[in-house]
Amino acid sequence: MRRDSRLSRMLHVLIHMDRHYKRATSDTIAQMLGTNAVVVRRTMAGLRKQGYVHSEQGHGGGWELARELTDISLFDVYQAIGAPPLFAIGPSVEQPECLVEQAVDARLNDALQEAETLLLERFRSVTVADIAQDFDACFAEHTHHT
């Protein structure tokens, strides 16, 4: 368990739901992701709160998309799972007294901020539908295997 894989997983799920299922149970999704139904519910709760998916309890219940994939960006999904920290490195303390440390952290935060801005900009500019189309192309390629 090194890197947070929730974003990847949720994108994976959304595309499968759009392409292969009209409705899927947590268990079905869990098998798809190679994980547990509880983990699925836990993670997808964020997507539900944002209105990207809808869930129903009881017999015949499960999850279904509540929006078109064209209306969901990677950034939306990232936010929905709680906008976890992007970087694994960073300054040591919040408000250092030491002026040297302040100078170090300022430069470090500048660089990190630039990278974060770029990354989130990319997330904003890509919709889940874009990735689904990548899959379509790749799938066509794969089946015809020219």
Partner DNA sequence: TTTTTCTGTAACAAGACGGGTTACGTGTAT
Partner DNA sequence: ATACACGTAACCCGTCTTGTTACAGAAAAA
Q: What are phi and psi of 83, to 5 degrees?
A: 45, 60
Does 145 interact with its own copies (rule: CB under 8 A)?
no
Category of 61 on φ-ψ map: left (φ > 0), alpha (ψ -120 to 50) or beta:
beta
DSSP letter, residue 73: B
According to CB under 7 A, which one of 21, 31, 32, 45 is a site residue for DNA?
A: 45
Stretch that binds its own copies, among 12-20, 21-29, 41-49, 50-58 (CB under 8 A): 12-20
Q: What are phi and psi of 64, to 5 degrees?
A: -145, 160
Does 47 interact with its own copies (rule: CB under 8 A)?
no
Smallest distance, Å, CB 28 to DNA? 8
C-alpha count within 13 angstroms, C-beta hemisphere, residue 7: 18
Beta bridge partners of 116: none
60 binding partner (options its own copies, DNA, none; Cβ < 5 to 8 Å by kind): DNA
Q: For binding to DNA (CB under 7 A), which residues are involved?
A: 1-2, 4-6, 9, 24-27, 34-39, 41-45, 48, 55-63, 84-85, 92
